[in-house]
Amino acid sequence: MSNKKNYFPTALALYFIYFIHGIGVSILGQYKQNFAGAWGAKTLANGTFDVSVVIAVIAALGLGRLITLPISGPFSDKFGRRASGLIGIALYVAYFVGIALAPNMYVAYAFALAGGAANSFLDVCIIPSCLEIFTKSGDAASMFTKFSISIGQLLLPFMIGFVAANHMSYKTIFFVTAVLLIIDAILIAILPFPAMNSNASTGKDGAEVKKEKMKFTATSIAVILIGFTCTSTFQLWLNCNQELGKLYGLAKPSQIQSYYAMGSIVAILVTAPLVKSFIKPVRILVLYPAISTIMLIALYFIQSPTMVLVGGFVLGYAAAGGVLQLAVSTANSMFPTNKGKITSIVMIASSVANYVILNIASMLTKAGGVQGPKYVLLLNMGITIIGILLALFVNKQYAKQESVAASV
């Protein structure tokens, strides 16, 4: 067996892509007014641009990912992690440059589809590769992907502030990230990768466990649907909080992003040891969405700049602090010999949420005008409550299984 330390530079290069991804999934939400103006959006009564066109473009990221997920997984398994990663980076470079230069929302929409496809190819490169590098600490390796994304989201507002303070174009960060991705692609092309499936499941006698046909139950379907609801919760907040901040009188709405990112980082650092030693992941699937719902209700009724910042941190913690990753790991425990397939299925549910829910948010924002952000809050509450009900059902089924196992 080769020394795993040989692959540490590879792991760093892969995690760096997720750092850039943290910027990529958030930056359009931070520059909605700029792009709405550039793409010819109409002006609202309060003098701002109608950002519904930009939210629709953001939703296309989910559609692009959804279209390519069924293709990218098999491609990665057949042609290798490196090939999948390089395709993902190429598509992501096209996304950053294309969005910055797009003359209208239709061209931007096409490049957003490319960005979603990039995410799909990168997911099936980075996650399996890191699990194959860190074979004995898979949970930590998986959680660190979210940590890398959160660091990117945390630093983005500071980058935006630096660009503004130096009177640079709002497109600057798009071009810089594209250059960084090209440099990282060179590293991915030359660094060593571990053998594929080096972390494959084995039985007690060391023999590989035979794959079984996937049989879906009400419990497993509920977990897959949680992939939809938990993604909806944080995507709605991530892409629609700026307008809420403005509505509530927050002078610098970009601050919300920093609080959100800090919340998600704290959640990862807290949740990882919690699920390892003290609490079952299925309990978190109820607890964190419940916290999110309480915060969303508070945000609807308490309209103040401070509350929006508090909401940013709490929703970063409870909505974006690993609930999706725990839903994936819970689903994996149900299908131990079909991990790749069930991961893709949960991620497809997540991508459907990104596309469908953000398109609904776009329509609500357009219909609601200045009060649009409050309609989005109500939508978020409803979906998050559905997620709680699904998680309660899953917990109930787990309790039944434990009771039956204990009586045998």
End-to-end CA distance of the chain: 41
Place of tokens 């991990």: 339
For the stretch 355-387, pLDDT in tens is 888 888 888 887 877 788 889 999 999 999 999
User: How many other CB atoms sit within 10 Å of the CB of residue 328?
Assistant: 25
For the stretch 27-75, pLDDT in tens is 888 888 888 888 877 777 777 788 888 888 888 888 898 889 888 877 8
pLDDT, position 210: 54
pLDDT, position 205: 46
pLDDT, position 342: 78
Mean pLDDT over 184-195 rounds to 91
pLDDT, position 137: 65
**What mean pLDDT, rounded, does the chain reach?**
85
- pLDDT beyond 90 at 321: no
Percent of the chain at pLDDT above 70? 91
What's the chain's length in residues? 408
pLDDT, position 141: 73
Mean pLDDT over 278-291 rounds to 90
- pLDDT beyond 70 at 102: yes
Read off the amino acid at residue 355: Y
Q: Which domains does the chain have, with CATH numbers?
A: 1-197 (1.20.1250.20), 213-408 (1.20.1250.20)
Report the alpha-carbon distance of residue 265 to residue 269 in Å, rounded. 6
Report the alpha-carbon distance of residue 209 to residue 107 in Å, rounded. 48
Percent of the chain at pLDDT above 90? 39
- pLDDT beyond 80 at 104: yes
pLDDT, position 58: 86
Report the alpha-carbon distance of residue 120 to residue 351 in Å, rounded. 10
pTM: 0.76
Place of tokens 């660009």: 163
Q: Is 202 exposed, middle or buried (0-12, 13-18, 19+ CB in 10 A)?
A: exposed
Calculated CA dihedral for residues 316, 341, 184, 67, nearest 10 degrees: -80
Mean pLDDT over 342-356 rounds to 84
Contact assessment for residue 11 and residue 130, using Cβ atoms and an 8 Å cutoff: yes
